[in-house]
Structure 1
Amino acid sequence: MDKKTLIVIVLVCAFLFSGGGLFLAGSGAIVAMAGVFNGSLGGSKGGGSSGGVPPGTVCDPGGETLKEHIPGYGWHTVDKQQMANAAVIVHVGEATKIPENGLIIAIMTALQESKLENIRGGDRDSVGLFQQRPSAGWGSIDEIMDPNYSAKAFFGGPNHPAPPNPPGLLAYKWETMGKGQAAQKVQASAFPEAYDKWESLAGKIVGRAKDIKCTDVGLEGDVGKVIAAAKRWIGTPYCWAGGDEKGPTNEERCPPPMPPGFDCSGLMHHAYAQVGISLYPYTGNQWEAGTRVHNYTDLKPGDLMFWSSDGTVPGIHHVSMYLGNDSMIHAPRTGKNVEIVTEVSKNSYWMNQWIGGSRILKEGSGSGKDSGGTQAAGIPLIGPRREI
């Protein structure tokens, strides 16, 4: 008998002998009560809700299966074959260097079109995971029924197996669109609003395919909100001096019609603003904020990471955010997009410039807010803006 079962039996017995036993025994509710206790003790092995993970967050909440209630649809459980099909889509996207938000869009699309089932049939001549139509130029039936082929066709770009038409996701400025809007650009569906409801589940599916555990990135409280706010903008272009509390912006060096973007400190400024913390959008001020983290190995999810050209504080030129598991998110430089970097400690380019970190959120509370205001203690709010 395992420990959980023993605890349940003890609790049930205690209830029975406390005076509530006759009714429970007579109604057969002991079984139901045990199920409740077992669930409260973590005995459930199924999927279920994410425990408050923000929609679209790329992480695996655990459990044997992924299961979620979809607005306007009901409960959907991802079985092993559906997950295998999703893994093909994710790995094809990674090979095409698609950012995580693009992977979510692809999974959202396949969930809506086929529930991630590789079906030979659908509306008119539509087939496959994305319900692509041979008559529209997507390829032959046999080609589209190959998940690897259909995923390449959906993403398009340099690996598009059937160029030039119909174009895939990379043919559009999808980073500046909502995820459902981007899916609709590719699919030209008669139900353009149908994709968005799948975003939360799609993020978990991508997280499972990429083996990113929600617990690994500290997705609880304000830490989770800050990380989710930064990850929301993966794939967004770099824009010097770009980014505010609301999101990416156009600035002098990236005016319209160029897409709005972030620079490195602007992304941090935006992420922490989502939990009521006002970080000034300048690396020098952000270095002075919060509590110093001297050693790389002492970093925790949500900490700011700083990089210096000469090992001195005046030489600090870049800031990023630690995600856990030796990875970080940042807005790199002009011509690049917001991205996640993995195995940072093994990267000589970064570690030769490491100077330290700042912990903005208070330890133990899950919040960086002081009781008397909306900014964390010690955060300066004035100063010039300077970074690469």
Structure 2
Amino acid sequence: MRAGLLIGCVAAAGITVLVAAGAVLVVDSQRQQAHAAPVSCNAALGPTQPGQQNRGTNDAANLTEEQLGTVSLIISIGKERELSPRAWQVAIQAGMTESGLRNVHYGDRDSLGIFQMRPSMGWGSPEQVTDPAYAVNKFYDVLESIPDWEELRPGDAAQAVERSAFPDRYHRWEPMAVHLVETMGEVSDAAGCGTGLGAVLPPNEEAADAIEFALDERGDPYVWGATGPDSYDCSGLMLRAYEAAGITLPRVSRDQYKAGAMLPVEEAQPGDLVFWAYDSSDPTTIHHVAMYLGDGKIVEAQQSGVPVHTRDFSFDEAGLVPQAVRPGV
């Protein structure tokens, strides 16, 4: 339905939205909290697909004693080096992707060990890279040398270390890795998002203004590439909605995904952005974005022939990206 849409829409956190008799009423009685200190998190540390909340647990349940021993080593060395749980997660995702968390003595060309390190590329001797403790420490050494690695999605940080020809494959193991960090590493809330994050991040005036703008545009036609004032595509509508609220957003949906604080999509609050992708685990395939209104409703510029509108929304929709985004936070 949304195939071919390469541009999306955006929103920010805000007010309460009530739905009655088909009409959306924006209630901003809490605007006095607008400028409270924001709290942010990175839900990409361990998202689960909507409707598949047990995926990480189920994947971890299939690990062998050898694999769990590798995880234990990664975590223990990470603790000894006083590295953050995010570093442990990056290493777990890399090890699972490269070797299935096994100390293998074979691989592509001269790749060896847990992380498929190549002696010919300066990772160490064959004996060293197949020594699990050496391999884990070497992985952490390179990870720490990457500028701002903690700001990257864990799978992207793993790719920065491994430099694989298949850069997106590390994302597959995010849910399992965060589960292992929390259980074996004894870390509560490894994703850093807490329980019910939406209630922790206060409504803000900008979100209220953005929602008001988007709702006022209902009935305007969808035109691919349009940014108003009389027609919009999905990201064009969000661009102008937040511009009206004093927040500048990138033009396209894939960039708007990076334009705020992330939180689990199930915790989205009015004004937050929700995204759809051809592969919901890969943000580079995002093709549509809408503004969440609360109470199971969104406002969007959906596709040709359909004007800007509000509609019912489910967190189990096919292609929904596991993270929502809160612009301006």
> TM-score normalized by structure 2?
0.43
Higher relative contact order (CA 8 A, sep 6+): 2
> TM-score normalized by structure 1?
0.37
* Greater C-alpha radius of gyration: 1
